[in-house]
Amino acid sequence: MPWQSRRLVVVVVAMCTVMAVQYGDAGSIPDACPVYLTISAMARNIEEAQLVINWGPGCENPPAWIGLYTENPALSDAPPIVKVLVEGEASGQVLSEVRFGRHKLPGGWSHEQVLQRIPKRKTKPICFGYYLTSYDQHDQLQYFDCLKIQPNWMFTDPGLSNVTLKDLFLPGTHCSGCYQTRANVGNVFLKKIGFRQSIDLWSQLVYGVRYLDFSIGYQPSHNGTRNFWIMNEHFRVAPLLPILQDIRRFVILSEETVFLDFRRFPLGFHNNPDQHAILLALLEQELGDLVYRRKMDAGDESQAPAQPTESYNLTIGEMRREGKYLLITYNHEASLNESSLIWKPWRKHSSAFLKHTELGEFMQNLFSQKHPDAPKDVGWSLHGIQGLQGSYNDAEGSYMMPNERASMVNPKLIHLLGGPWSLRANAVLLDYFLNTNLIDMAIYTNRYKTLRASASSEAAVVLDVQ
Ligand SMILES: *[C@@H]1O[C@H](CO)[C@@H](O)[C@H](O)[C@H]1NC(C)=O
Ligand SMILES: *[C@@H]1O[C@H](CO)[C@@H](O)[C@H](O)[C@H]1NC(C)=O
Ligand SMILES: *[C@@H]1O[C@H](CO)[C@@H](O)[C@H](O)[C@H]1NC(C)=O
Ligand SMILES: *[C@@H]1O[C@H](CO)[C@@H](O)[C@H](O)[C@H]1NC(C)=O
């Protein structure tokens, strides 16, 4: 039975590959230390933000040096624009002097370009013109990565379609609509404390974010088109409608699955519950044909069985087979009775009220599964953020700004998440996610899970035969 043993070999090879690529592609040496680029949150805007060179965590064989290039070193002999000598450190982060600058999203994915031509779906990530390569002491290449977008990561991994939503690692943004636009740029107050992301929602999706978090306010305007607002706490940040239109455009072009979490309604809903029906009508109008709905029983109300409102046991395959690419969770119970468009919210855990020194224990309780808080077999989101209160510094009598808080909390959180806990993560939402490798971590964790799942079913086939 030679074909069976060949099959077993294939399985084993697949397992080894996934171990090597867990946190980075193209690791040409099995134990190569991952290197990756991130973008600092500490800048007034993305153009001025400095690139950060990262390696690790915890590398047994750190590289001798790492080069940052503006031309692909596989195709060009141009020297690095930055060279970092690692000097045996097992992990590290070096803030380079290189600023991100002005760039279109590559691969034809900029907002303007997609209006003219549908971008090709590529299976590989698409690089901006920043490449990172690490070398050993003999100048042999160890590891390669680039600053990149991954607009099709779900589509190109067919194994994902059978994984239940609660078992996927979904990279997300907290306060997804809270960023600077042409319309709100003059608002000094927002500028100081209102923004939570350095890039717009379209770009977030193109980078690979798939879980979006919204607080919505209602404030009537003179002509009725801009009544619903993206809120950050009780501040109006931007109108909702253009954001819904971007989400629509993105899922149509990419066929990726995107999760919309309508979590809070801090303005104009409390004394006016009818606003929910109006908001749901807007969601219906803008996105209705793309949303995976609950199957509601149209029959006699009193006889109807309890309607399933939990979504976390669905798969993206089930959604795609019906041509649906959006799932909406909505945190208002009465509305669930009114509309099939929305599902019950997933469980939420937030680090917003903690000091950053308390993050370790909080994560331990969530992920070690011994604690009563640890989510088991449910859909859940981790808001890995720090609120204003948690950032108060007694000694200096001051609070940190949102980007300072994200610069403090994100690397810690990602470091904690980076080990075996990543396999238990579900939706992970960050402020200023570009200062982390959240997207890569989610993609590799999901790939690891699907390969492991298919490997174990293959192995079972082989055992059956024996
Ligand atoms: C998903 O599961 C179905 C039935 O269980 C199977 O037929 C299909 O091949 C699976 N798809 C993938 C991509 O694994
Ligand atoms: C409504 O007002 C906004 C500006 O407040 C404007 O951009 C938009 O075109 C107006 N819409 C209509 C239908 O008049
Ligand atoms: C989801 O699936 C799990 C395991 O298959 C099951 O135990 C659980 O009851 C399901 N939950 C819901 C709400 O359907
Ligand atoms: C929703 O409907 C269920 C059953 O029809 C009912 O028991 C429940 O009270 C309703 N919830 C709200 C908030 O109206």
Summarised one tens digit per residue, pLDDT across range 160-216 is 999 999 999 999 999 999 999 999 999 998 988 899 999 999 999 999 999 999 999
Ligand nearest to the CA of 301: 4
Q: Is the pLDDT of residue 284 over 50?
A: yes
Count how many residues are written for the chain.
466
- Where do the DSSP E strands lie in 56-182? 65-69, 82-85, 92-99, 126-135, 141-149, 170-173
pLDDT category of residue 393 using cuts at 50, 70 and 90: confident
- DSSP letter at 344 equals P
CA distance 293 to 343: 8
pLDDT confidence bin for 391, thresholds 50/70/90: confident
CA-closest candidate to residue 255, choices 332, 155, 330: 155
* Type of residue found at 284: E
- The CA-based diameter of the chain, rounded to the nearest angstrom, is 76
Ligand in closest contact with the CA of 159: 1
| The pLDDT of residue 203 | 98
Q: Is 377 in the pocket of ligand 3 (CB under 6 A)?
A: yes
Ligand 1 centre and the CA of 457: distance in Å? 12
Residue 370 has pLDDT above 70, yes or no: yes
* pLDDT tens track for 33-52: 999 999 999 999 999 999 99
Q: Is any atom of ligand 3 closer than 6 Å to the C-beta of 315?
A: no
The residue whose C-alpha atom lies closest to atom 3 belonging to ligand 3 is 377
**What ligand 4 atom has the least distance to the C-alpha of 301?**
5
Ligand lying nearest the CA atom of residue 219: 2
How far does residue 338's CA lie from ligand 4's centre (Å)?
Answer: 10
Contact 70, 129 (CB under 8 A): yes
Q: pLDDT tens digits for 194-209?
A: 999 999 999 999 999 9
The verdict on the CB of residue 309 being under 6 Å from ligand 3 is no
Q: How far is the CA of 317 from the centre of ligand 1 (A)?
A: 9
Q: Lowest mean pLDDT of 28-37, 180-189, 257-266, 369-378, name the range.
A: 28-37
The whole-chain average pLDDT of the chain stands at 88
Which residue is associated with the tokens 């509309």? 339
Q: Is 315 in the pocket of ligand 1 (CB under 6 A)?
A: no
Least confident piece of the model among 32-46, 129-143, 450-464: 450-464
Give residues (CB < 6 A) around ligand 2.
223, 225-226
Supply the pLDDT for residue 95.
97
The model's pTM is 0.89
SS3 call for 456: helix
